[in-house]
A and B are shown apart, each in its own frame.
Chain A
Amino acid sequence: MVRILLMRGMLVGFLAGLLVFGFARMAGEPQVDRAIAIETAIDDARASADLARGIHDAPEPEIVSRSMQRSWGLLTGVMVYSTAFGGLFALVFAFANGRVAIRDPRALSVLLAVAGFVAVALVPALKYPANPPSVGSPETIGSRTLLFAVMLFMSVAAMVGAVAIRRHLLPTRGEWFASLSGAGFYLSCVVVLAVLLPGVNEVPAGFPADLLWRFRLDSLGLQLILWSGLGIGFGALNERLAKRQFFSR
């Protein structure tokens, strides 16, 4: 049973990944290209200034060409990410089914996807938003990655806690109170976390605001497509198979 759910989840993740790739290629890549053009201009200006002072900068070796990065490279990253999250989604569904008092597999799948989108994508991105190339200095990659990981894991942990609180209060206090208590718990956890953790702002002076805005919006759009696809697709697949089993009996 777990094996079947896992395979369905990874299949749905793979299919959602194709949609994500389409959106990333059409909406996201023009922003990446613009940002890289700005990065190149900054590097060139620095190199010519150094040359005027008699310093020769060694050009950065290109390991993977831009055309590969924006096609096959992008496809690889997006497909691995989406398929892996599809599998993890299925494992969480396998655990939650029958344990969280939501009977319809389609409803459970969609609600899990909403929780996943909020905890994994939206809330960490509100504190540490996605950055295009040339935003962020290479020296701080360690601390930025650590802060992002802490935000992500704590957000997911708070969401697990919220679901546990809802489940605990449900029999005695009813659906409305139990659900609001869970949501309130999650919200207060992530607000406290976001206030305590240091902010990161390494946008270079003069970087176009519209480019930064579009890039971050596209990044959230990608996540919305992925989690919508997972929630609706996984639910539909399980609903249909459940019905088929029912009628064939």
Chain B
Amino acid sequence: MSETVLTRPVAIPTIPVRTLLPWGLFGALLLLAIYFVGAEEGATSLIPGMAVHEWVHDSRHLLGFPCH
């Protein structure tokens, strides 16, 4: 009996996909934040001007994004 207990892995409770799915919306917001650091006012632009680009300029270069 003890052998079966040892060899059978106890399932780790998973978080159901249905619970996770709404959090995908928050994940999309996080991706938007990364977009603003990485690409806004470079290849594409949501906000007119160059203020965002200029403000995060050094981090954009150092984090490996194409900058200008």
Residues of A at the B interface (CB closer than 8 Å) are 1-2, 6, 24, 28-29, 32, 63-64, 68-70, 73-74, 76-78, 80-81, 83-85, 87-88, 91, 94-95, 97-99, 101, 103, 121, 124-125, 128-133, 136, 138, 141-142, 144-146, 148-149, 215, 218-219, 222-223
Contacts and interface: CB of A to CB of B under 8 A. Distances in A.
Given A94-B20, A128-B66, A136-B66, A69 B57 contact: yes
B14 interface: yes
Contacts of A218: 62
Given A29-B58, A88-B31, A222-B62, 18 more contacts: A6-B23, A28-B62, A69-B58, A74-B58, A80-B36, A84-B31, A87-B30, A88-B30, A91-B23, A130-B64, A131-B66, A138-B68, A141-B42, A141-B43, A142-B43, A144-B66, A145-B44, A218-B62
Interface in B19-65: 19-20, 23-24, 26-27, 30-31, 33-34, 36-39, 42-44, 49-51, 54-65
A73 B57 contact: yes
Nearest to B65: A148
Contacts of A128: 66
22 contacts: A28-B62, A64-B54, A68-B55, A74-B59, A76-B55, A76-B56, A81-B59, A84-B31, A84-B37, A91-B23, A91-B24, A91-B27, A95-B15, A97-B12, A101-B9, A131-B67, A132-B61, A136-B67, A141-B67, A146-B43, A222-B63, A223-B64
Given A129-B64, A131-B67, A97 B43 contact: no
Nearest to A75: B59
Interface residues of B, number: 42
B11 interface: yes
